[in-house]
Each structure stands twice: as structure tokens, then as C-alpha cells.
Copies of this chain bind each other. A is one copy, B any other.
């Protein structure tokens, strides 16, 4: 039996707890959260106990920690978990500061513990199937990538102020997709953007719409377009082209109903937001984490992926702020 401590009893913590409950041979032992009520409710639902970090890290029975708490706690928990030689699953980003993220990576490598970063999109059935086809050679070497990543609405400005900015908060997933799909590293990054939807976001020193271009070391090209407010919902598509063809990952729809009216032929909008769109991905991701712990699978992401995506987010932020191309 693998015992697990969960840090964070918010929305994403709840999802992970539910998925942990479905893993055979895995038991949720502690739920840790600054919000005692939330911790209590979640612990009770899954037969766990409310704990504090001290106790969770000290408990030798705890073999793995899931870090789904606020971003500013990630690095500390990673460092403590590495020191305690516990396997780590941590939500993105590792930290808002690249240096601190690198320190975490070093600690993880020194401790030689698994550390998966929550880039759940890699486990999405559509995205994973697309990647498998690339690996099977369907399109030859991937050469160009176009990523569309749009949210149905912006988070509260208070959240945005603490978020590290749109590139670290929102596009970090897209930067990971870029590295994963093109299987290459950035040579240069150009980012521009605007505040198109809410002046309060500009007031917070951020933007809500971006256009990013990455050129890789092998000369491959990626473009990412994002906006915080897509009236029609959560838009998560990408397409990748190689000499032999193109692969497209489309949105998922809640149902396959079509309505043919006197106006138009209408289909469902995409799944509402990330909790719906990536429900399957979160479950597969958590199963993968425990497969890794059980030696049934090699880890599909590492803390280095978290660091590299963060480095791209930082480069993009610099490019946008300083209005220049950032060479890497």
C-alpha cells in the first residue's frame, strides 16, 4: 500500500484526491491545507486525515506527495519532499522564479526521487494520440506548430496579480506542448500582446492576449495565440505539420448533437473549461504517477520539463516587456 499526502484541498486538489481513490494499492493518508475546513471536508470524503506539512513529511509511511497548493508553496514542498526522499507530483509552475525552480530541480536530481510536473495536457487522449502518431512517423519530422489556447474568461484580477503574468500562468502549458510536440528546444522567442478584454488586467501590469513565436535550434517554427476571453468557451487546439502531412488536435464537445435550424447547422461549443476538458487527462496522469512509483512505467515528464517551460515563460515575458527578440 502506497500512502500519499496531498497538499492543497482546492479544485485541483479535489480532482487529484478523487483520482488517487481510484488507484489500487494507493491510500490518501493526509490532506494539508491552510483552509482547515476544506482540508477536513476532503479528508473525510476519502477516509484520510487532516495533517500539517511537518507531520506529512515526517511520516515514514508517506511515500508520495501531491503538491496542489498555491504556487508560492511549490518550491518549499518540493525541497522538503526531496529531502525526505518522497516521490513528488507537483502542479505547474515549479516556482515563479526560474532560479528557485532550478534549485528545486537540483535537489530532486540529488535525491533521485521521481518528480512529475502537472502538465496534464500530455495525458489528454487526443493530444497523446496525436503525439503517438508523430512518434510513429505519420507526418515525418514535425516542422511547424500552431497552438491555439484560449480561456473562456479571465480569473479575478487579484489572482492575476499573484500569477506571475500570463506567460507563466497560462502559456506555461503551451510552452510545454511546444517542447513535447516539436521535440526541440527554443533558439529564440518573440512575444507580443495586448490588454483587450479588461483594463483592470492592464492595471495589474499584465496582458490578456498574446502572440508568441518560437524558432528552434533546428529551425522549426512554432506560433502560439492566446486570449483570456473566448466567448465560445475553452479553445484548446494545435496542429503540427511535417513533410508527410499535418496532425490536428481539436476541441472536445460535451455532446455530438447537431441542430439544423433555419439559421445554421449548429454543434456544441467546446467543453467549458480545464476541469471538464482535461477530466480524463487528470485521471490518466495520476494513474501514470503511480505506475511510475510501482516501476510499471518510465516517467513521462520530469522536473526539468517544469524548469524548461518556465524558462520559456520568462523569455516570453522579457520579450514582451522589453519589445525585443530573446535569444536563448
Contacts and interface: CB of A to CB of B under 8 A. Distances in A.
Interface of A: 125-126, 129-130, 133, 138-139, 143-144, 146, 148, 150, 188, 190, 192-197, 209-211, 213, 215, 219-223, 225, 227, 229-232, 235, 241, 243-252, 254-269, 323-325
B267 A265 contact: yes
A197, A229, A245, A252 — most chain B CB neighbours (10 Å): A245
Of all A-B residue pairs in the complex, the 8 with the closest CB atoms, nearest first, are A264-B266, A250-B256, A194-B219, A232-B260, A246-B260, A248-B258, A126-B255, A245-B261
Contacts of A255: 125-126, 129-130
A19 to B, nearest CB: 13
A188 B107 CA distance: 43
Given A144-B225, A231-B261, A245-B260, 17 more contacts: A126-B255, A126-B257, A130-B257, A146-B146, A146-B148, A190-B325, A193-B221, A211-B222, A231-B246, A235-B246, A245-B259, A246-B259, A247-B258, A259-B264, A264-B264, A264-B266, A265-B269
Given A230-B241, A323-B325, A257 B249 contact: yes
Nearest to A192: B215
B246 A232 contact: yes
A259 B241 CA distance: 10
A314 B325 CA distance: 19
Given A229-B243, A255-B126, A196 B260 contact: no
Contacts of A249: 256-257
Contacts of A211: 144, 213, 215, 221-223
B213 A190 contact: yes
B194 A215 contact: yes
Contact of A265 (B138, B227, B232): B232
Contact of A268 (B231, B241, B259, B265): B265
